[in-house]
Structure 1
């Protein structure tokens, strides 16, 4: 069976995890935690980067940092993972969903302004498949209406918009290091990216259960105490050690995935030219990280048929999110502004193909072969 995903593994993870285990500090922000955070601050670059146990935790921190209150409204796409929504609903916010673009599956920047109300507090663009939203327009709206922008760049590490790393454009950004992402910190993990100095000190406090513990360890205060509401958003040193093994080879992983992505694109383009499928679109303003390769089919019935055909030939392909506005929790906690139907229609046509670091040419060719073999039914 060709799996849909294999967690990335470069070879040094075991050495670093064992080293962390044998150290005197495994609770977090130790040697490897600091190395990872420094790598992000210098490579992206950004003002501050804080490792978290998950992207979910990073999003929850972001909601706390911008002081989301009951009744506040937060604009985001419905086509996203539930963590994007939960972080703000947990603080009492109402979600205002905006329809997506058909080409990139990202929030339609031209529909956002009409969704803004006096209660709007933030815009949360989600960079689907590591392809950037139209951030210039979104940041202009942020400035015009005094709104925060939190980038959900869970899928976007090593992707860029007009030369800027995703996650470094808004006030705050978040990454995921779940095992399904291009880079993992041992199965789960995340990062909060801080681009606005106003949030740097508070982020440390919120991350350390609401205490000024980090300042204490730096010798800035003689004792630490409870400062404000926070939670436990510090990952273990073992997670950081695993991640460091991946960051050392971040470019190698990216180039390997890009090669696979391009092989899919080239091998399936003739089907797209015939109008049988649609391939991913990457705008000229974006450079992507090959997080995902998907095709779009005519409808959900054709997609289901192709999934079964691939499965019968030992190939695992999957569809993605059920749009949040159509979920039970979505009915209770959101409204949809500017629904043209694209979110529902496009989500039912999209099929994700296997892609992972180290996937062989033979495996890629097999996937292409069996899609082409179904050509008459596409």
Structure 2
């Protein structure tokens, strides 16, 4: 069976975890946590980066720092993981869903302004598949209405928009280092902060509402409870696992891009014959090969294709059920405008296996099986598809 995902592993992870144990510092903000924070700041030209226990928690911190209160409204796409909404719902916000663009599966920037009311406080662009939203337009709208932009860049580590790293384009950026992401610490994430004015409070929130970070820097002689917070610090053992991958970040990125490009080139014949659609990456975007997906004709065809691939030892999966149609989404959110693409496109999208170390032979095998499926459905096009 070709698995859909295998967590990245470079070979240094166990050595670094053992080092944290020998240092007698396995809790948060140890040596490897600090190394990871600095790497993120330097690599992406981020003002401040703070490793967290998950991207969900990074989003929660962003919601707190955005001063979300009961009744505030937050605009986001419905086609996203539940964490994007949960972080703001937990602070009492109402979620305002708008439709996506069918080309990138990202929020349609042209629909945001119509969804703004006097209760709107935050816009949350979600960079699906590591391909950037139209951030210039989104930031322009946010500036016009004095709104905060929180980037859900869970899938966007190493991706760029017009030469700038995703996660650094809004007030806050949120990364994921879950085992399904390009770089992993098992469960983990990071909060990127653009403006210095938020940094001290972010440190306090992350340290259970205490000024413990200031204490360790020698800025106060004791630390105490000064604000709301929670335990958002990951273990340094988790950070040690991540550090082994950040050291080889470019190598991992190149390996994934090679697989992505092979998929794209090998499946163009199916696209050209109108059987599937392939991912679209705008010219101003540099993606990170977080995923490779195709779009089938409809839900029925996707279901049949998943079964066919499984019969041939290939684990392919679909992605989110749109949040506005979920039971809790109906309770805490509202879809503004017409759902022209969110539901329809979500039912067609199928993700193919893609992970660090996936062999080119396996990628070719998957391509061949996809061609076989469409040959079986379209016998008259047999010669054209197999060329």
Common topology (TM > 0.5): yes
The bucket for the TM-score relative to the shorter chain is over 0.9
For 1:1-378, what aligned pairs fall within 5 Å after superposition? Answer: 1-185=1-185, 187-376=186-375, 377=377
Give SS of 1:50's match: strand
Provide the C-alpha distance between the structure 2 equivalents of 1:141 and 1:59, rounded to a whole number of angstroms: 21
Provide the C-alpha distance between the structure 2 equivalents of 1:192 and 1:153, rounded to a whole number of angstroms: 10
Provide the C-alpha distance between the structure 2 equivalents of 1:226 and 1:121, rounded to a whole number of angstroms: 28
Quote how far apart the aligned CAs of 1:156 are: 0.2
Provide the C-alpha distance between the structure 2 equivalents of 1:338 and 1:177, rounded to a whole number of angstroms: 33
Quote how far apart the aligned CAs of 1:28 are: 1.3
Provide the C-alpha distance between the structure 2 equivalents of 1:306 and 1:96, rounded to a whole number of angstroms: 34
Provide the C-alpha distance between the structure 2 equivalents of 1:219 and 1:361, rounded to a whole number of angstroms: 52
Provide the C-alpha distance between the structure 1 equivalents of 2:206 and 2:78, rounded to a whole number of angstroms: 28
Provide the C-alpha distance between the structure 2 equivalents of 1:168 and 1:109, rounded to a whole number of angstroms: 18
Spell out, residue by residue over 1:43-62, the C-alpha distance to the aligned partner (whole angstroms, 9 max, x if none): 10111000001001100111
Quote how far apart the aligned CAs of 1:339 are: 2.2
Quote how far apart the aligned CAs of 1:80 are: 0.2
Quote how far apart the aligned CAs of 1:362 are: 1.2
Provide the C-alpha distance between the structure 1 equivalents of 2:61 and 2:22, rounded to a whole number of angstroms: 30
Give SS of 2:174's match: strand
Provide the C-alpha distance between the structure 2 equivalents of 1:340 and 1:305, rounded to a whole number of angstroms: 25
Give SS of 2:335's match: strand
Equivalenced residues, count: 377
When the two chains are superposed, the root-mean-square deviation of aligned CA atoms in Å is: 0.7
Give SS of 1:192's match: strand
Provide the C-alpha distance between the structure 1 equivalents of 2:27 and 2:339, rounded to a whole number of angstroms: 48
Spell out, residue by residue over 1:81-132, the C-alpha distance to the aligned partner (whole angstroms, 9 max, x if none): 0000000000000000010000000000000000000000000000000000
Give 5+ residue unaligned stretches, structure 1.
Answer: none
Quote how far apart the aligned CAs of 1:341 are: 2.2
Quote how far apart the aligned CAs of 1:340 are: 3.4
Provide the C-alpha distance between the structure 1 equivalents of 2:337 and 2:105, rounded to a whole number of angstroms: 15
Give SS of 1:374's match: helix
